[in-house]
Amino acid sequence: MAGPMKMRATLASGYTDVRVLMSHPMETGQRKGPDGKMIPLHFIQNLTVKVNGKTVVEGQISQAVSRNPVFSFRLKGGAKGDKIEVSWLDNKGETNRTESAVA
Amino acid sequence: MRTTVCAVALGVSLAAATAAAQESQFAQYQKMVAEGSPVELFELVGEELWQKKQGPKNASLEQCDLGLGPGRVKGAHARLPRYFKDVDRVMDVETRLLHCMMTLQGRSREDALKRPFGNADKPSEMEYLSAYVAGQSRGYKMSPGMSHPQEQESYALGKKLFYVRTGLWDFSCASCHGEEGKRIRMSELPVLSKPEAARPLMATWPAYRVSNSTFKTMQWRLNNCFRQMRTPEPVFGSETINALNMYLTVTARGATYSGPGTKR
Amino acid sequence: MDDQRRGWLKAAGALGVVLVAGLLKPVAALAATWNKDAFAAKSAADALKSLGAADTAASSDIVIEAPQIAENGAVVPIEVTSKIAGTTSIAVLIEKNPFPLAGKFDFMEGALAFVKLNVKMGETSDVRVVATAGGRNYVATREIKVTIGGCGG
Amino acid sequence: MMRKWMMGAGIAALVLSPVAFAEPSDREVQEIMKRDFRPKGQAKMDRIEQDAVQKVCTASLNKPPAQLAKKLEADQMETIAYPAGSLMGNWKGGAAIAWSGQGMQWHEDPKKPSGGGCYNCHEMSPARTSFGTIGPSLRGFGKTRGNGIEMQRYAYGKIYNAKAYNLCSEMPRFGHTNSLTEQQIKDLVAYLLDPASPVNQ
């Protein structure tokens, strides 16, 4: 089961700053677990940022992104109350999403 | 020598300039890592665990008294360790959380301490809870208990312990944390007996630790120091561990708590 | 075996509507393209070829903010801004990583060409950032040193 | 438990200064530690039983009275067991031992050889840029000091039991505590002294 996500979207001068935290192991497939066996590749591949339902950023990432990924994006303009949604999809087909209003 | 004299004469402004000149080569790295830290994820899980009913009494920890009265978490971490009348001893935040698991939830010490220190794949309950409680003290001034005789005893013991040469390799805490400008490999070592070094450090523990890819507590930090000192293992919540924590926190008192932090 | 398979297909057919509506759609709604060839490339040049960005021109309008020296390669923060007008995508490549491409971000109307992320770096390496604007590719490079600390190992 | 030493400290305790009141005695601190530690893995309780050196260095905050230091250093010198013949082992083996910081910790397999962790505290080979600064730089050690039998004996002895040379040195007693074997120490001597060693490049 996916751990929590957390997002903060705040108005800055001329843009909206979106900072999103995701719980994910981002396994590289090159690490041994406590049982001595290799832990298989397990990482987020896609992430999507939407504003009021419209996609504005689409990211493709690799296992080189650090464990528990943290991303910042910037959106043009923006207004208080705009609904920001961030979702991810990993190589095992697991997904998670979070949304919050611009503060 | 001349700079020292000047620094004294010019007071604050030059002292600040000197500090900047001696800034760690990792300062930029540490700043950027702290800004992009996943530490809040641990606070979120910790808050859920704080509210989760469990143990034989099927109770949450929401009524836990961390020193400000039952259920008051805001600012509590910044006032620990301190003396607790109900147990007639000094407790740091983890020792107190353990106490609440046992009394409020009715869990045995063995059960509550089955796994005090977790790992990246499975952080421990104590780690999550510590993250939540610490996060509720962000912005509060650090003011550990210093008035009760037992609090002063604890400080005095901690200070002595800091200098005890022990373990297979004859180390004391001061072996690594006693002199300015020293490193273990590339890790810079703060002189923890000095407030100016203890403050930024204690104001950011517990912390997300990049080397472990997970959240770590102060009791883990001390435990791990003793491991590397090649001693046997200190008991969780023992007087020794609480005293060391008390000594370091009192040395850091007056700092504004800004954790939970993010470390190398 | 065949019978079983047919049975499964039949069941799937009956469930088709539900599947599309309930399961497949959310997944499809996510950006489901992931450039396997680019991410599997073992050199930055090959990765860029797979991204269709083999030809690049150096640009000082790509700003990479990153520490000069990282205390731990498990988390290396990198912030990238492209000031090139009409930037539609930014790719981040760690030259010395076994698979250099760490991420590619496409920006649509409403987003600034900016991303900040944490990456793993096995060793000191150049970080190459490629921005695409108006069908042309621009590049900027920056070295990040990685040290090993601690005394447990 | 600790009540005893608080007696008579009452007045000082009223002044909120944390430094103004009585401290527990060294013996009391020892008793508290024995109560508060548990054996784990290879780390048994004898490891926090202070010997004479640890006691004196703790009590004097690493500034032992000169005469006592001299006597205890002589005692420590006697613990050093020099093998017969050359003390120069293989510098390549020494390089790996100097780099490894592992060994003797409670989670580690005691059957596996320890490292010396030399780089934790010392600069050695110029090729290694990650080194600590708790101890002095040993870069060019053999080049500047020579590698005759006297220097070999000094290097071997210092690694075996640093306290024989400086009672409250922060350096572990690698031979005396059986942390490193005779061969490992010889390899480290070679790493320090052999003209072919990277330390001397």
Distance CA B178, CA B193 (A): 7
D123 vs D99, D170, D190, CA distance in Å?
11, 16, 16
Reply yes or no on whether B64 is catalytic.
Answer: no
A51, A60 contact by CB (below 8 A): no
Question: Which residues on A lie below 8 Å from C35 (Cβ)?
Answer: 60
Query: In the predicted model, is pLDDT for residue B82 greater than 50?
Result: yes
Q: What is the pLDDT of residues D121-162, one digit of tens each?
A: 999 999 998 899 999 999 999 999 999 999 999 999 999 999
Distance CA C23, CA C28 (A): 9
Cβ within 8 Å of A, C 17-56? 26-27, 30-35, 39
Q: Is B45 touching A (CB cutoff 8 A)?
A: yes
Percent of chain B surpassing pLDDT 90: 88
CB contact under 8 A, B183 and D58: no
Q: What is the pLDDT of residues C91-121, one digit of tens each?
A: 999 999 999 999 999 999 999 999 999 999 9
- What is the Cα D54 distance to its own chain's centre? 11
- Minimal Cα distance from B223: which residue of D? D37
| Angle (nearest 5°) at CA B145 between B140 and B150 | 165
A96 vs A20, A90, B38, C108, D40, CA distance in Å?
12, 9, 16, 22, 41
The number of residues making up chain D comes to 201
Which architecture, in CATH terms, is C36-148?
Answer: Sandwich (2.60)
Q: Which of C69, C74, C116 sits opposite B210 (nearest CB)?
A: C74
Distance CA B175, CA D123 (A): 18
CB contact under 8 A, B164 and D33: yes
Which architecture, in CATH terms, is A5-101?
Answer: Sandwich (2.60)
Q: Is B7 touching A (CB cutoff 8 A)?
A: no
D16, B146 contact by CB (below 8 A): yes
Domain limits, chain C:
1-31, 36-148
Subunits with at least 3 CB pairs below 8 A relative to chain D? B, C
Distance CA B95, CA B92 (A): 5
Q: What is the pLDDT of residues B106-147, one digit of tens each?
A: 999 999 999 999 999 999 999 999 999 999 999 999 999 999
CB contact under 8 A, A70 and C119: no
pLDDT at B21: 40
- What is the Cα D186 distance to its own chain's centre? 17
Q: What is the pLDDT of residues D70-120, one digit of tens each?
A: 999 999 999 999 999 899 999 999 999 999 999 999 999 999 999 999 999
- Give me the DSSP letters along D120-185: HH----TT------SSPP-TTHHHHH--SHHHHHHHHHHHH-GGGTSTT-SS--TTTTTSS-HHHH
CB contact under 8 A, B41 and A4: yes
pLDDT at D21: 57
Distance CA A71, CA A21 (A): 7
Look up the ipTM and state it.
Answer: 0.85
- Average pLDDT for B226-241: 98
Give the global pTM.
Answer: 0.88
CB contact under 8 A, C112 and A76: yes
Domain limits, chain A:
5-101
Here the tokens at position A35 are 């049982």
D187, D91 contact by CB (below 8 A): yes
Question: Which residues on C lie below 8 Å from B190 (Cβ)?
Answer: none
B185, B94 contact by CB (below 8 A): no
- What is the Cα C89 distance to its own chain's centre? 10
Task: List, for chain C, all residue ranges whose pLDDT scores fall below the cut of 50.
Answer: 1-31, 149-153
| Pairing label, strands C87-94, C62-65 | unpaired
Q: Is B69 touching C (CB cutoff 8 A)?
A: no
